[in-house]
Structure formats: structure tokens, C-alpha cells
Amino acid sequence: MDRGSRRSTVSPARLGLGVASLALAALLLLGFKAPDPSVAAGTAASGGTTGTSGGTTRTSGSTGTTTSSSATKTIDGTIVNTRYGPVEVEITVSNGKVTAVTAIELPSGGRSGAISSYVAPVLSSEALTAQSASIDVVSGATYTSEAYARSLQSALDQAGI
């Protein structure tokens, strides 16, 4: 048998796996939807605004401010800059317990925005459960997770928790 006339054949099973892999890759690529930037940035804007909500007065700023009503305080953590964008957390404290943790600023746009929209509820839930800034880093969002914990600790320190 001559080396030049030898032909390589692909088994039907390998061919099927290759076609299935390509189809799955195309499906994942076409199914990807970029997140809405307003969702990734959080539910409230930061930077010198004052407002009233449900009996609680809130004044925000970049250094973190505290405002309160009779038993409820809303406190902004410091803004922590990361290589992907700034991170700022706001906490609501009622009777010495953290009742809400909201990311008011997270990296946005493109992949960073997609990661932020995924990681925000996860980190918020962990912070509420822990009642501290001792939260796990979310895989794939290390910088954002660490900045979130730092801003959260800043807000907790201001609240005296």
C-alpha cells in the first residue's frame, strides 16, 4: 500500500459529535443577550442627590453618608474603584440589623455589565445572610466581589455594626 493513496476516514460518531458541538456553540452565541445597563448599575443613582422614601431620608455622596428616620438608617458605603469600574453599596439598617443591601454602582457595559447583573443579587443575599462583609467571592467576578465587600464594610462601619 502506497502512503500517498491512504485516506483518512472519520467515524460517524465523531462526525456527529462535531456537528452537535458546532450547533450548540451557535445556539449559545445566538441566544446571548446583553444586559440592560440600567439593571447592571443598580436601582438607584449615586452622587449628591437627596430624596425621601417611606419615612426615611437619604442623602448620598461619594464618601458615604448616613441618614435616618426613627429606627431605620440608609447608609452608603465608599466608592471602590476597580479595573472594570466603580462599586458602591448601600445598606438599610433597622433596629441594629441589616435589612437590605443594594449595589448602587457596579461596573457596566459589555461583559462587565453582564457579570454585574449576575453577581449583584448573589452578593446581596450573602451579605444579608452573613450580616457582615465576610462574604464569598463569586467566581468570575473577583474584583467586583472584593470591591463590594470593601464598600459594604465601609457602610457597616458607619452604621456601627
Give the pTM. Answer: 0.59
Q: What pLDDT does 2 receive?
A: 55
- Calculate mean pLDDT across residues 10-38: 67
CATH of the domain at 135: 3.90.1010
Residue 48 lies in a domain: yes
Residues in the chain: 161
Residue 11 lies in a domain: no
Residue 32 lies in a domain: no
Residue 114 lies in a domain: yes
Residue 113 lies in a domain: yes
Report the 3 state secondary structure along 50-77. Answer: EEEECCEEEECCCCCCEEECCCEEEEEC
Residue 29 lies in a domain: no
Which range has the worst mean pLDDT, 24-28, 39-43, 45-49, 85-89? Answer: 45-49
Which range has the worst mean pLDDT, 10-24, 85-99, 111-125, 135-149? Answer: 10-24
Asked if pLDDT for residue 37 goes beyond 50, the answer is no
The parent domain of residue 54 ranges over: 37-159
More confident residue, 99 or 18: 99
- Calculate mean pLDDT across residues 74-81: 96
Count structural domains, the chain.
Answer: 1
